[in-house]
Amino acid sequence: MSEITSATPQLLRRVSAGAVLDFLRASKAVTVTEVMDATGLTRATAISVCEELMDRGWIRELENQRAHGGYQKGRPARRFELNERAGFVLGMDVGILKATVVVSDLRGKALGRASQPFPEAEISAAERIAGIDQAAMMALRGVGASPDDVLAVCAGVAAPVDRNGKVLVTQHFWGLFDVGLKKALHDRHGWTVLLENDANLAALGDRWRGAAAGVDDVVVILASERLGSGVIDGGRLLHGRGGGAGELAFLEHMDGVGDTFGIAAMARTWAAEALAGKAKTSLREFGAGGVEAEQVFDAAAAGDAVATKILDRLADRMARVIGAVATMVNPELVVIGGAVANSAGVLLGPITERLTDYTATPPRVAVSPLGDSVVTVGAVRCALDYVEKNSLDLELAAGA
């Protein structure tokens, strides 16, 4: 009984500190009175908790100022705010040919970004880890931060990842990402590393700061080179038993689709097929080096008949894909994400018109405004979630 009694004040103190820190994360500068109103704490407890959080580096006290520079009786109210530079999180997008790392403060503001290419797709685990680490160090140096300032890392990879961060390696391609990244970065820098599927992070990122903001039932499809999706159902990210929820390999068996190549890949392929024939098209201006998806979209906008036909085929293909996803998952919204999203807005109308041909439950369709940053945005969100959940157990670097 004595142990329970002695532990109770410490537990209550921890709960109070967590409540105050959560309130400050969601606010700008606040007074002690506002902290009391938001948390239900007494003035003495609110002040004591704020001072403790300030001593630990999580929040800071602002200089007192008279309201509007005029006369005010009594002592000015003390004001506190989150110390958003108390530490940093890293969001990583690890693809087959390059790694991109974003450094973010504790409010989710991206401060710096760096990318590092891999020499080729089939490289050793040590080479892939070295490239990822080099990108991380470049990004940190760019904002004047050190590895000791990093509170959490989240890395998105182009493979299914289960709830415990284990990569599903039933396909050779997926196995290329099973490199022991969590242990390697922890051994090098002491970092806590969270591993997640890139499309799942795209779903988290777009729901946080994209077209799906506030939507609880949404599928985000990464659609540039390969098609993959992240599924949020009732506000909860789905993983499945082995992390395979949202995988779209079944498209290989679907009429009118037949594989998982994305919009950018198919635009290049169909443009090359057209150029191999005798069709008159402005796409020939781009020569033997090949036509990129953006050039196909630009040519269609200028009225090129061949490019317009390619866009029509892309719209039908994506309508079939989205129709299949909508039939299985029944989301309110499907978002097209990835680098191709910058051009894919022109496909929304044709896709929407065709959806009722392929599903009885057509969702709204949008493109993500986050472009090729959608995965790193989601990775930052995932890392911040970890920090916010575990703040009171984390030690900040000296001088935070």
Question: 89-103: per-residue pLDDT in tens?
Answer: 999 999 999 999 999
Whole-number average pLDDT of the chain: 93
Q: What pLDDT is recorded for position 76?
A: 81
Confidence of residue 290 (pLDDT cuts 50, 70, 90): confident
pLDDT at 68 over 80: no
Q: What Cα–Cα distance (Å) separates residue 343 from each residue in 162, 218, 263, 296? A: 32, 21, 10, 10
pLDDT at 176 over 80: yes
- Domain 2-82 of CATH type 1.10.10.10: yes
Greater confidence (1 vs 398) lies with 398
235 Cβ neighbours under 8 A, 6+ residues apart: 216
Q: What pLDDT is recorded for position 225?
A: 94
Q: What Cα–Cα distance (Å) separates residue 4 from each residue in 1, 7, 15? A: 5, 5, 16
Q: Across residues 114-140, what is the average pLDDT? A: 97
> 83: closest CA among 21, 132, 168?
21
Beta bridge partners of 337: 222
Distance between start and end Cα atoms, the chain: 39
261 Cβ neighbours under 8 A, 6+ residues apart: 225, 226, 227, 269
What's the chain's Rg over C-alpha atoms?
Answer: 25
Helix then strand then coil, in percent of the chain rounded to 5, is 50, 20, 35
Task: Give the fold, CATH level 3, of 211-369.
Answer: Nucleotidyltransferase; domain 5 (3.30.420)
The CA distance from 23 to 12, in Å, is 17
The CA distance from 372 to 19, in Å, is 35
Greater confidence (399 vs 371) lies with 371
Under 8 Å between Cβ of 369 and 328: no
Q: Do the domains 88-205+375-393 and 211-369 sit in the same CATH topology, yes or no? A: yes
Q: Across residues 324-348, what is the average pLDDT? A: 96
Beta strand residue intervals within 215-316, DSSP E = 218-222, 228-233, 236-237
Q: What pLDDT is recorded for position 398?
A: 56
Q: What pLDDT is recorded for position 71?
A: 47
Secondary element (H or E) of residue 60:
strand 59-62
Q: What percent of the chain has pLDDT over 90?
A: 88
Q: What pLDDT is recorded for position 178?
A: 97
Least trusted range by pLDDT, from 79-88, 106-115, 194-203, 281-290: 281-290
Pick the CATH number of 88-205+375-393 from 1.20.1560.10, 3.40.980.10, 3.30.420.40, 3.40.50.300: 3.30.420.40
Confidence of residue 5 (pLDDT cuts 50, 70, 90): very low
Residue-range domain boundaries for the chain: 2-82, 88-205+375-393, 211-369
325 Cβ neighbours under 8 A, 6+ residues apart: 219, 221, 229, 248, 331, 334
pTM of the model: 0.92
pLDDT at 245 over 80: yes
pLDDT at 399 over 90: no
Per-residue buried b or exposed e for 36-61, using 16+ beta carbons within 10 Å of the residue's own CB = bebbebeeebbbebbeebeebbbbbe
Confidence of residue 240 (pLDDT cuts 50, 70, 90): very high
Q: What pLDDT is recorded for position 288?
A: 61
Q: What pLDDT is recorded for position 7?
A: 54
